[in-house]
Amino acid sequence: MIKQLVTAAVIGLAAQAALAQTSPVGLWKTIDDDGKTEKSLVRISESGGVLTGTIEKLFDAKSADNRCDKCTDDRKDKPIVGLQIIRGIKQDPDDKALWGGGEIVDPNNGKIYKARLKPIEGGKKLEMRGYVGTPMFGRTQTWVRVE
């Protein structure tokens, strides 16, 4: 009986660890649309089932002091490092591999897009799709998990 309980606990912990890796929560290296240029580190956090993402670092040292001067909401003129670029993302109730329903802002132009996140390759990478209207009209970047 004790062996069965220990086995069940180990399996439960392993499943929980695997699930955590397939969640977007964590630190991500963003890669530009060209698929090569490392742009920033974004930390995605969860609170009450809702994901947010904040820029922690910009790799271009010349941009480190930039502000979101083209943003039109409460992020206007805020420093890009520390800027919350992802808001309101929730897990899709019909497809547990997708998160969406929120938005992402492009701090370079201030435009706000609907956003969809999908962990791939066992959670080692993240497809971040920003779009207008329907996911068919947008662009996807593949981010790489740092931790």
Which amino acid does the sequence have at 80? I
Mean pLDDT of the chain: 87
Q: Give the H or E element holding residue 26.
A: strand 26-31
pLDDT classification of 136: cutoffs 50, 70, 90: confident
Q: Indicate the Cα dihedral angle 8, 11, 16, 21, nearest 10°.
A: 180
| Tokens matching residue 83 | 């800027």
For residue 147, the model assigns a pLDDT of: 81
Look at residue 16 and tell me whether its pLDDT is greater than 50.
no
121: left (phi over 0), alpha (psi -120 to 50) or beta: left
| pLDDT, tens digit, 9 for 90 and up, residues 48-93 | 999 999 999 999 989 889 999 999 999 999 999 999 999 999 999 9
In this structure, are residues 13 and 6 in contact, taking their beta carbons and an 8 Å threshold? no
How do 125-131 and 99-105 pair as beta strands?
unpaired
Q: Residue 76: helix, strand or coil by DSSP? A: coil
For residue 55, the model assigns a pLDDT of: 98
Q: What CATH number labels 2-145?
A: 2.40.128.520
| Tokens matching residue 64 | 């480190």
Sign of CA dihedral 80, 83, 88, 94: positive
